[in-house]
């Protein structure tokens, strides 16, 4: 492991230089990796491992759009694509990548497919951490671990194809074979992780639920909407409000942050922008700090998990979700966004 300093704190990080793909292949040479669930993370992780020479099969419910998607991605029914339980029975590593609600509902069947010495692999600490609600309690005679890419499945695949990879956390929750750590890191390398940093199932799910409800999605979309509404209320056009709220952020400034950090972005904007941002930064921070404190408390008490499981378990969940997503899509702000994106040079110069 490489010891890397993060703002004065030293962490043990696993890189592809020290744990090579060849080493990962050697560790996994006798494994059959069954990717159970071909929804968000499943396609990217399965295809990346297949491209890296790992023996991979996919488990998905027949007659679903994701079954058809798997076939379109080159998985062959009866050879590399099977119904969920059959794939789980064939695998020595069961990558349990169904949705959190799906993991709860399928667990009584999956647990019966586990053999002594198998590895049960997650990409989220949810089901194991909130076992009182999910009832997912792995048997003692298997390895239990996670590799959690810090990005969507789309990004995991896109970055892999670009040769860059995407960072991921890893954790070993249960080491029955004595080889769980090597198996876990090998799987992380095989799915294309840029580097791997250690965590626990509990820390992973607490940080993940906070992040996606906060800065990554919930807070970001909420702050964008608030600024857009203020600009529109004060007479600015939809195009101007959207460009000043979203387009400049996503197409310019956030790229500077990604390349070299927030200090670099500050150093490469106008002096007027610098002064205003430095003055208003603490006001925004102090305003939202109590919201984040309340959010984290809701996460660690299991409240967010219960809300998720209850909502996702309802028969009309997908229909209601579609309504909620359409409210975003059809709002003036995001209709303006669609028009702005259509005017990007790469679109109109085709």
Domain ranges in the chain are 2-199, 214-348
CATH of the domain spanning 214-348: 1.10.1040.10
User: Is pLDDT at 10 greater than 90 in this prediction?
Assistant: no
Class of 2-199 in CATH: alpha beta
Strand partners, 59: 36, 82
**180-238 pLDDT, tens digit each:** 999 999 999 999 998 999 999 999 999 999 999 999 999 999 999 999 999 999 999 99
The values of phi and psi at residue 100, to 5°, are -60, -45
- Give catalytic status of residue 281 as yes or no: no
Q: Which two tokens mark 236?
A: 């600015």
pTM recorded for the entire structure: 0.91
**Model pLDDT for residues 112-123, shown as the tens digit of each residue:** 999 999 999 999
Q: Measure Cα distances from 332 to 12, 14, 238, 295, 323 in Å.
A: 47, 45, 8, 28, 16
């Amino acid at each position: 492991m490489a010891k890397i300093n993060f703002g004065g704190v030293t962490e043990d990080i696993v890189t592809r230089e020290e744990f090579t793909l060849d080493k990962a292949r050697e560790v996994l040479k006798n494994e059959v990796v069954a990717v159970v669930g071909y929804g968000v993370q499943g396609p990217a992780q399965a295809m990346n491992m297949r491209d890296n020479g790992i023996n991979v099969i996919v488990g998905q419910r027949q007659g679903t759009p994701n079954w058809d998607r798997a076939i379109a991605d080159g998985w062959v029914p009866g050879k590399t694509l099977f119904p969920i339980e059959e794939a789980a029975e064939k695998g020595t590593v069961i990558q349990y990548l169904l949705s959190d609600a799906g993991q709860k509902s399928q667990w009584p069947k999956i647990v019966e497919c586990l053999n002594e010495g198998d590895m049960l692999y997650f990409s989220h600490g949810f089901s194991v951490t909130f076992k009182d609600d999910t009832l997912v309690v792995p048997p003692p005679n298997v390895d239990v671990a996670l590799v959690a890419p810090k990005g969507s499945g789309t990004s995991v695949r896109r970055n892999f194809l670009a040769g860059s990879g995407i960072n991921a956390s890893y954790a070993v929750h249960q080491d029955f074979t004595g080889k769980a750590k090597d198996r876990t890191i090998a799987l992380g390398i095989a799915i294309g992780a840029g580097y791997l940093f250690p965590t626990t199932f509990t820390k992973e799910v607490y940080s993940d639920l906070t992040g996606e409800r906060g800065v990554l999605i919930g807070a970001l979309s909420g702050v964008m909407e608030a600024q857009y509404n203020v600009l529109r209320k004060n007479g600015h056009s939809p195009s101007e409000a959207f460009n000043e709220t979203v387009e400049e952020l996503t197409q310019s400034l956030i790229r500077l942050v990604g390349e070299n950090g927030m200090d670099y972005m500050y150093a490469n904007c106008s002096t007027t922008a610098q002064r205003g941002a430095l003055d208003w930064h603490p006001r925004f921070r102090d305003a939202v700090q109590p919201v984040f404190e309340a959010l984290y408390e809701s996460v660690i008490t299991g409240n967010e998990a219960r809300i998720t499981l209850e909502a996702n378990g309802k028969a009309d969940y997908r229909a209601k979700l579609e309504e909620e997503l359409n409210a975003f899509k059809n709002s003036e702000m995001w209709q303006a966004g669609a028009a702005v994106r259509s005017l990007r040079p790469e679109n109109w110069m085709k």
